Every structure is written in structure tokens, then in C-alpha cells.
Amino acid sequence: MLKIRRNERIAAMTRILCSHPNQSYTLQHFSDLFNSGKSTVCEDIAIIRDSLLAFKLGDLETTAGAGGGVRFVPLADMDRTRKYIRELCLTLSDSNRILPGGYLYMNDILHSPQQIHRIGEILAARFLDLKPDFILTVETKGTPVAIMTAFELGCPVVVASRNGLLTEGPLVSINYVSASSQRIQTMSLSKRSVREGSRALIIDDFMKGGGTVKGMIQLLKEFNVEIAGTGVVIATRQPREKMVSDYTALMVLEEVNEEENRVKLSPADWICSV
């Protein structure tokens, strides 16, 4: 086998670790892959970690023990986060995005891999310490955000359906009240999708009154699941009294004035204050 040079090992190892956030690799794995000693691998890891931290791109966490391991932990630099969210607020504050009924057009953002990757990275960094076992969202617009957040956290996604499908097997269903329309709706979750006693992080794209998120909380209670936290991309300023109080939003929709053709979004307070 040809001898692999250090710069080649570092390039390959960085690619592997950063492509699998929060997934642990043993030192033996890299030792076998590069035909190198564990001490050499440890030196490479130290170099990679220093570079990641220097450019505020993330961190490498190592675990001790017989096997030993390392994982890449993505971090959201607050200066870059603040700049990105402010630019996103300006983009979404374009009056051309106002839809009939006072809704806001967001599909181009929610379906852009680059945008969703950045949003997921920010949400994951915010909830990293909570160590959820899975992420719950409800179909359909919240799914891309939930998937990318889960990718960064290294955990699976569970999607609650509004109409139970036969292909999902036995279901648990609840009725909940939509805070915006005051209509009773149904939400279902497959019994096979959630393990009792696990921890869930709720992620959604938009929150107005909080009825949908409250419905997800009620649904998880049927599985005896602990709620680690709730994150949304946008929350409206009004109503101030929502059906849930403990949540984190990235942006706040201050107003949508259809008659005056005006819309305004601002970064959430926690982003501006940090």
C-alpha cells in the first residue's frame, strides 16, 4: 500500500468528519483507513481541530477509552449568524412576497438547499446541548428545515401527518385547534416511529398562534416523550400570547399589511443580543 501523506490524510479526514456531523468515528477506523498509527491519527485530529476553531467553522470532540473516538460538532458563529439572518429578513421583507390573505411567500427559501443548510445549522447549534433523540415536525413545509437540522445534530426525523396513511401502520391520532383559523384539525403519528421515554426536538417553519406546535406536544405526550425544545424559522409578533410559550424563533414577522403592500421581518431578540 502506498504511503499516505499527512496533507492527504487531513484532507480526507476533514471531508469525512464534516460530512457526518455529530457522528462518532473511532481512532481505529481512521488508523485502518490510512494505514497509520493511532498516535499519528491523533496528531492529524489536533491539526484539523485547530483549523476549524481558528476559522469558527466548528469543533472536534474526542472521547477517551479503549476505542477512543472523534466527532465533528458544527458551530454557528454568531457574527455570521447575525449577518445572515439580517440579510434573510431583508429578502423576506420584499412586498412582492405578500400573498392574498396576508400570507408570506417563502417556498424559494424553504426549498433552497443552500438556505436550508444554513438555517438548519443555526437551529442545530442553538439546541445542540439538549441532545435530542429525534426531531418531530408536521408535514409539509417544515420538513426540509427539520431534515437539515437533524442532519447537523446527527439524529433522525419523524414527520407527523395531517392525514394518516395506511402505509404507516398503526397510528396515534389527536385533534387540535389551529390558533390562526380556530378550526379543529387532526394530526397522526405512527406507533413505530417513536420510542417511549426518548427526547424530542420540535422544528417547524412558521408559528402564528402556536396551535400546530401545541398539537405536536400533545401528540408526543401520548408516547410519553420528553420535549427537549421547540424551534421555528419565523414566529409572528402578534398574537403575543401564543398557545406555547417556550420556543426559539430565528426571525419575527412584525407585520404583513396587504392594503399598504408592506411587510417587515426582524431578527429574533436572542440573535441581536448575543
Lowest mean pLDDT among 165-179, 221-235, 260-274: 165-179
pLDDT of residue 179: 63
Confidence band, pLDDT 50/70/90 cuts, at residue 1:
low
Sketch out the chain's domains with CATH numbers: 6-73 (1.10.10.10), 78-273 (3.40.50.2020)
Confidence band, pLDDT 50/70/90 cuts, at residue 68:
low
Picking from 127, 171, 187, 184, the residue whose alpha carbon sits closest to that of residue 152 is: 127
Pairing of strands 184-190, 171-177: antiparallel
pLDDT 10s digits, 132-169: 999 999 988 899 999 999 999 999 999 999 876 656 77
- Tell me the pLDDT of the chain averaged across its residues: 92
38 pLDDT more than 70: yes
pLDDT of residue 67: 60
Q: How far is CA 16 from CA 20, 61, 85, 124, in A?
A: 7, 14, 28, 19
pLDDT of residue 205: 96
271 pLDDT more than 70: yes
176 or 34: which carries more pLDDT confidence?
34
Tell me the pTM.
0.92
Cβ partners under 8 Å of residue 244, min gap 6 = 207, 210, 213, 214, 217, 230
pLDDT 10s digits, 182-209: 788 889 999 999 999 999 999 999 999 9
Provide, rounded to the nearest whole percent, the portion of the chain with pLDDT above 70. 95
248 pLDDT more than 80: yes
Give the three cell numbers for residue 84: 445572515
User: What is the pLDDT averaged over residues 201-229?
Assistant: 95
264 or 170: which carries more pLDDT confidence?
264
What's the CA gap between 60 and 21, in Å, rounded? 10
Give the three cell numbers for residue 37: 498509527
Q: Would you say 151 and 113 are in contact if contact means Cβ atoms under 8 Å apart?
A: no
pLDDT of residue 133: 97
